[in-house]
Amino acid sequence: MIVFDQVSKVYPTGNTVLENVSFHINPGEFVILTGPSGAGKTTVGRLLIRDLLPTSGSIKVGEWDLAKMKPGHVSELRRHVGVVFQDYKIIPDKTVFENIALALEIIGYPGKQIEDRVKHLLELVGIPDKKDLFPVQLSGGELQRAAIARAIVSEPKLLFADEPTGNLDDQTAADIYQLLLAIHNLGTTVIMCTHNRSFLDPGHRHINLEKGKITLDTSSSSQPARAAPLREGHKSKEEKHKKTKE
């Protein structure tokens, strides 16, 4: 599903954030990406949605080769990769419901289906009673849940969660982690960046980055990842959703 092949990223300031990083992530994996601040975790996420281009090396997400991708197709890629941003990126003057619905409006869902789907997601992330509140009225944990709901509402095959438990108390962080596990169990490939090593589970793959290099990868498979098509997967989920509605 995801192939990073000798990827390096040097910012215009000359700061090298990633250096010859290579890894494969197969569909359905739960990967915990750890490392200190500045190790390059967020850069991996930004490269995944082509918010940045690598200085060298190649990145493949599904059937897309991001370096060769036409700019017009970037929005298509981003629709299939759910991202929980470190700073949430929840739009302040939209309600929780509107923020989550926005992801569906972008992909052209019909109005009635949007309402049903958002309600379902709010139940899933545990904030059904907060739908009409504005971000400023939410706690950190609630904001994080809203951000997760928005990232997965369009049923992406891949979810990248950048420090989803940062700045949260232990109990809330554990709840968010459990939520990500639940999303993973629904069949979504999850990449979770964290400082919190208490979430490391022998059952999950662990990649550690330090100073832009991989210092640990507990990958159980040395086989290259299959180029599972993101778009087809997404379509089939949409169809499933429609069938459920019918």
**Does 159 engage in binding with other proteins (CB under 8 A)?**
no
Identify which of residues 43 and 208 has a Cβ nearer to other proteins in the complex. Answer: 43
Identify which of residues 83 and 214 has a Cβ nearer to other proteins in the complex. Answer: 83
Contacts of other proteins in 28-67 (CB under 8 A): 49, 51
User: Which range of residues in 14-22, 76-84, 190-198, 216-224 is near other proteins by CB under 8 A?
Assistant: 76-84
Task: Return phi, psi of residue 72, to 5°.
Answer: -65, -20
**Does 107 engage in binding with other proteins (CB under 8 A)?**
yes
**Applying CB under 8 A, which of residues 7, 44, 52, 83 lies at the interface with other proteins?**
83
Helix (H/G/I), strand (E/B), else coil: 112: helix
CA 201 distance to own-chain centroid? 19
Q: Which tokens hold the place of 155?
A: 């049923």
Strands (E), the chain: 2-10, 16-25, 30-34, 56-61, 64-65, 81-84, 158-162, 189-194, 205-210, 213-217
**Are β-strands 158-162 and 189-194 bridged in parallel, bridged antiparallel, or unpaired?**
parallel
User: Which range of residues in 12-20, 27-35, 75-83, 137-145 is near other proteins by CB under 8 A?
Assistant: 75-83
Residues that bind other proteins (CB under 8 A): 49, 51, 75-80, 83, 85, 89, 91-94, 102-103, 105-107, 150
